[in-house]
């Protein structure tokens, strides 16, 4: 039974889907005005692992990840996030490009990073600019129901009409009043109200017609429009980085529930920030790492993936180059181990004494406990240790290796690690191996030697081991091993 820590209730809750066998997931995607950084990658890994584990359990998952290509505003420190410039527009002006060109460029970067990180693509990546009518419809409903009000072409959500406002973030209105740096807007009734629609100044590039003004949507309404459009009024799982909790997700809950009259999200899943060398990432500290920075230092995206899998999403991860080294060497260990198992699995014995079931149970127990990937990985590391000891004593058999490989394949559908050099021995080679084995059994050593040469010519090497066993591997790997 899968338990997930729900940021809304602050408890671990048993996962129960709305529709049996199906899961709907919404992921707050990138605002495409800058490169994807390590913190973003970490927060996109969380829904990827969760989605993979749902699929491992047999669920059919529909995952929607939006592309914010308008309306995410510049001043992050302003708690209500509804003043300042559009980030994409600002960049467009800086780089003398159109907003669409900026959005496309950074969306391509985002897609490439996700691909390299082996983050499975969402079923759909809706763009905010393509969903303006849906946003206008929800805003219209909110005004009709008196949750929102219009003044001078601007529309705001009145948070005093929604008593649950602040439940997700723990921000009460009183706290907000005292603590938050709220941006004044002359048309707001309450300083903590947030914008649903803003009238565009003349020079604004991205603007649309609406019943209230020629303007543009607030950031929060985008996600409500796109999530309900593709997943319905109530969603199983909604994820995001911890910086999305307030005001973004708080606002999403308020406006969506008031518009639909239904519960918006059953499980809120958030990923904590990542620090670099113990400090917050920031442009001024020059530690705003991208995937490219990691690769330039000679690490593979998969080593980064392994590093991210080795920490819990609810704890702050401290990224260091030392930790990257560790991840790189762990990845190599896994890689070598799988290659050894593949080689051993080609031997023809039928015995097996390796108990894989207990490992599988422990893997699932770890994942069921709020997606504890570090613990799930440690289960596999233990398996490797046990198998390597048996291997040294020559008591690990081909059948054991087959079982281990099948287990790895299954759990790696969740970890999502692409191993380099992982090979499947072609059937043609396996047939020749079988012939050679028969020849050897019949003590026809001339034929057996000829077949061995033939196999080598095709790029594979047979190594005879104890107990009349043998393993087969690609010649390049054999060479690699000889070199130590």
CA angle 477–474–449, rounded 5-degree value: 120
Residue nearer to Zn ion on the CB measure, 86 or 400? 86
Min dist CB 66 to Zn ion, Å, is 6
Q: Could you tell me the smallest distance in angstroms from the CB atom of residue 223 to Zn ion?
A: 3
Q: How far is the CB of 332 from Zn ion (least distance, A)?
A: 37
Least spacing, CB of residue 217 vs Zn ion, in Å: 12
CB-nearer residue toward Zn ion: 263 or 434? 263
Quick one: which segment of 25-33, 284-292, 336-344, 415-423 binds Zn ion (CB under 5 A)? 25-33
Q: Which stretch binds Zn ion (CB under 5 A): 21-29, 260-268, 443-451, 466-474?
A: 21-29
Q: Mark the segment that binds Zn ion (CB under 5 A) among 70-78, 82-90, 98-106, 217-225.
A: 217-225
Half-sphere exposure of 401 (CA within 13 A, CB side): 25
Is 189:199 a contact under the CB 8 Å cutoff?
no
- One of 25, 28, 38, 259 touching Zn ion (CB under 5 A): 28
Q: Residue 274 Cβ, how far from Zn ion at the closest point, in Å?
A: 19
Length of the chain as a residue count: 484
For 235, phi and psi rounded to 5 degrees?
-115, 145
Closest CA to 124 of 53, 46, 66: 66
**C-beta of 155 vs 221, nearer to Zn ion:** 221
Angle of helix 398-415 relative to helix 373-392, nearest 10 degrees? 160
Which CB sits closer to Zn ion, 70 or 223? 223
Quote the least distance from Cβ 235 to Zn ion, whole Å.
12
Least distance (Å) between residue 252 CB and Zn ion? 6
Return the number of the residue (248 or 440) whose C-beta is nearest Zn ion.
248
Piece of 33-41, 222-230, 359-367, 469-477 that binds Zn ion (CB under 5 A): 222-230
Contact letters for Zn ion, residues 460-479 (x by CB under 5 A): --------------------
CA angle 407, 413, 419 (to 5 degrees): 85
According to CB under 5 A, which one of 38, 73, 223, 432 is a site residue for Zn ion?
A: 223
- Kindly indicate which of the ranges 8-16, 89-97, 140-148, 216-224 contains the residues binding Zn ion, using the contact rule CB under 5 A: 216-224
11: tokens are: 């408890």
For Zn ion, the closer of residues 223 and 377 by Cβ is 223
Compute the distance between CA of residue 197 and CA of residue 95 in angstroms, rounded to an integer: 27
**Is the CB of residue 310 less than 8 Å from the CB of residue 373?**
yes
Per the structure block, which two tokens stand in for 201?
A: 């100044």
For the bound state, the minimum distance from the C-beta of residue 231 to Zn ion, rounded and expressed in Å, comes to 13
Sign of CA dihedral 276, 279, 282, 286: negative
Task: State how far the Cα of 472 lies from the Cα of 83, in Å rounded to an integer.
Answer: 65
27 binds Zn ion (CB under 5 A): no
Per-residue buried b or exposed e for 452-481, using 16+ beta carbons within 10 Å of the residue's own CB: beebeeeebbbeeeeeebbbbbbeebbeee
- C-beta separation of 207 from 214 below 8 A: yes
Among residues 193, 192, 264, which one has the least CA distance to residue 224? 264
Work out whether the CA dihedral 207, 212, 213, 218 comes out positive or negative: negative
Peptide linkage before 247 cis (omega within 30 of 0) = yes
* Ordered alpha helix ranges (H), 272-372: 291-296, 301-309, 321-345, 357-368
Size of the residue set binding Zn ion (CB under 5 A): 2
Shortest gap between Cβ of 283 and Zn ion (angstroms)? 23
Smallest distance from Zn ion to CB 248, Å: 6
Nearer to Zn ion, 24 or 474 (CB): 24
Segment interacting with Zn ion, rule: CB under 5 A, options 22-30, 47-55, 313-321, 365-373 = 22-30
Measured from the CB atom, is 31 or 373 closer to Zn ion?
Answer: 31
Position of tokens 């992050």?
A: 76
Handedness of CA 464, 470, 472, 478 (dihedral sign): negative
Question: Between residues 223 and 291, which has the closer beta carbon with respect to Zn ion?
Answer: 223
Stretch of 33-41, 80-88, 218-226, 315-323 contacting Zn ion, by CB under 5 A: 218-226
The residue (of 28 and 334) whose beta carbon lies closer to Zn ion is 28
Smaller CB separation from Zn ion, 81 or 215: 81
Residue 253 CB, nearest distance to Zn ion (Å)? 11
173 token code pair: 């209105």
Which parts of this chain interact with Zn ion (CB under 5 A)? 28, 223
């Amino acid at each position: 039974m899968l338990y997930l820590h729900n940021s809304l209730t602050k408890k671990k809750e048993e996962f129960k889907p709305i529709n049996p066998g199906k899961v709907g997931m919404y992921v707050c995607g990138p605002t495409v005005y800058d490169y994807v950084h390590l913190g973003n990658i970490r927060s996109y890994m969380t829904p990827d692992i969760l989605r993979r584990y749902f699929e491992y359990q047999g669920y059919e998952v529909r995952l929607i990840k939006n592309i914010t290509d308008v309306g995410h505003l510049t001043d992050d420190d302003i708690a209500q996030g509804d003043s300042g410039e559009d980030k994409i527009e600002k960049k467009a002006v800086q780089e003398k490009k159109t907003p669409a060109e900026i959005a496309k460029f950074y969306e391509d970067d985002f897609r490439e990073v996700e691909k390299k990180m082996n983050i499975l693509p969402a079923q759909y990546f809706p763009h905010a600019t393509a969903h303006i009518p849906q946003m206008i419809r929800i805003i219209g409903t909110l005004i009709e129901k008196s949750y929102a009000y219009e003044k001078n072409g601007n529309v705001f959500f009145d948070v005093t009409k929604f008593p649950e406002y602040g439940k997700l973030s723990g921000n009460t209105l009183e706290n907000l009043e005292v603590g938050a740096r709220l941006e004044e807007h002359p048309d707001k009734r309450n300083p903590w109200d947030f914008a649903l629609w803003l009238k565009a100044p003349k020079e604004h590039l991205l603007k649309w017609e609406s019943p209230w003004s020629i303007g543009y949507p607030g950031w929060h309404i985008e996600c409500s429009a796109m999530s309900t459009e593709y997943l319905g009024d109530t969603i199983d799982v909604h994820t995001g980085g911890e910086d999305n909790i307030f005001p973004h997700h708080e606002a999403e809950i308020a406006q969506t529930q008031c518009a639909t009259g239904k519960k918006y999200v059953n499980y809120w899943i958030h990923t904590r920030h990542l620090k670099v060398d113990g400090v917050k990432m920031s442009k001024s500290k020059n530690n705003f790492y991208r995937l490219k920075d990691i690769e330039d230092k000679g690490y593979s995206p998969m080593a980064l993936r392994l590093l991210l899998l080795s920490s819990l999403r609810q704890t702050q991860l401290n990224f260091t180059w030392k930790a990257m080294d560790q991840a790189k060497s762990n990845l190599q260990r896994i890689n070598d181990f799988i290659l050894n198992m593949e080689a051993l699995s080609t031997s023809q014995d039928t015995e097996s004494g390796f108990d894989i079931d207990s490992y599988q149970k422990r893997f699932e127990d770890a994942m069921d406990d709020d997606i504890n990937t570090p613990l799930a990985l440690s289960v596999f590391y233990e398996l490797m240790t046990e198998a390597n000891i048996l291997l040294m004593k020559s008591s690990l058999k081909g059948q054991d290796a087959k079982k281990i490989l099948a287990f790895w394949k299954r759990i790696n559908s969740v970890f999502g690690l692409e191993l380099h050099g992982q090979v499947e021995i072609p059937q043609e080679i396996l047939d020749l191996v079988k012939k050679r084995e028969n020849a050897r059994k019949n003590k026809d050593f001339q034929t057996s030697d000829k077949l061995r040469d033939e196999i080598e010519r095709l790029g594979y090497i047979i190594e005879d081991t104890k107990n009349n066993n043998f393993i087969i591997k690609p010649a390049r790997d054999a060479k690699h091993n000889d070199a130590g």
